[in-house]
Structure 1
Amino acid sequence: MKSVAPRQALLGVMVVVVVVLAWLVVRAAQGPTDPQGRTGSAAATTLGGRVGGATAPATTQGTDPVSRLPWVSESALPREARDTLTLIRAGGPYPYPRSDNKTFDNRERLLPDKTRGYYREFTVVTPRSGDRGPRRLITGGSGEIYWTDDHYASFHRVREGT
């Protein structure tokens, strides 16, 4: 007689994945959220950007001495980027499994020069975008995190925990 435990375990995992993905879709539909919890246009204005397009997060003073990129506080990132950071820290699941947690080649040479495979790329859901959109978080092998909201044309170094 066959055991149903493996099927039940698989069904449980599938339910969790569906719930997480549904939560991400709902959060993405709400638009950007600023640290005060405002969504939509007010949040985009607070973050220094515009609704529906690339947003420039408020930066933390100074420049990272290693990458020479401006710092951005984790709390100043759009809600979707903070949600993606949570997924990265949990090891997934990611909204675009074919594209997320894959090698980022740094072809633009805007990040510090490292060997191939050092950087990993993660999609940040862009509200009202019909595709993956331009927003990404890039992680480095030493734990550093970079943010781009313009599909690799520019980067900020993320100051975690701020």
Structure 2
Amino acid sequence: MRTLRSRQVQGAILVVAALAVVWLLVVFVQGGASTGGAGASPAGPAGARAVRTLVTDPASGLPWIDESALPPEARETLALIRAGGPFPYPRNDGVTFANREGLLPREQRGYYREYTVQTPGSPDRGPRRIITGSGGETYWTADHYASFSRIREGS
């Protein structure tokens, strides 16, 4: 009798666990994931509000983030990049980004450029950056190069 009851309990636990996994998959595929702690989302800590989907960019292997999901300061920086400036940190904005962390696709030196995204309340440049590639791609980091997302511009 005990064995039967213990098997029933184990079966019920497995069913509940399977349902939880299915629910999590549905939430993430439908874009229900919100940003949070380190590694919780492609936007990273103090990053964007929400991400439509967690589909990755096949070229970089990084998660996509819609431009519209970026914080307003990041959208302002993108507008400045498109306009060619002027930038709030002219000595630092537009300089070569070396990709020392190796998180972006490997390219020759000088391929990437970095731009500061102002962080409200920060006494310095803060941790947020947009990185551009010579091929026209753009990347977002909210945690000073610890993680990146590929920006889906115009979305």
Match of 1:31 in 2: none
Write the distance in 2 (CA, Å) between the matches of 1:60 and 1:104: 28
1:49 Cα offset (Å): 5.0
Q: How many residues align?
A: 115
1:59 aligned to 2:51? yes
1:71 aligned to 2:58? no
Match of 1:140 in 2: 133
After TM superposition, which residue ranges in structure 1, 4 or more long, deviate above 4 angstroms?
none
Match of 2:115 in 1: 122
Give the fraction of aligned pairs with identical amino acids, expressed as a percent.
66
Write the distance in 1 (CA, Å) between the matches of 2:116 and 2:152: 19
Match of 2:18 in 1: none
Contact 1:59-1:70 within 8 A present in 2 as well: no
Give the residue type in structure 1 aligned to 2:79. T
Write the distance in 1 (CA, Å) between the matches of 2:36 and 2:73: 14
Q: Which has the larger radius of gyration?
A: 2
Contact 2:45-2:143 within 8 A present in 1 as well: yes
Secondary structure at the residue paired with 1:97? Answer: coil
Write the distance in 1 (CA, Å) between the matches of 2:64 and 2:56: 6
Match of 2:78 in 1: 85
1:48 aligned to 2:41? no
Which structure 2 residue ranges, 5 or more long, are not aligned? 1-33, 38-43
Contact 2:35-2:45 within 8 A present in 1 as well: no
TM superposition score normalised by structure 1: 0.67
Write the distance in 2 (CA, Å) between the matches of 1:124 and 1:49: 19
Write the distance in 2 (CA, Å) between the matches of 1:139 and 1:83: 15
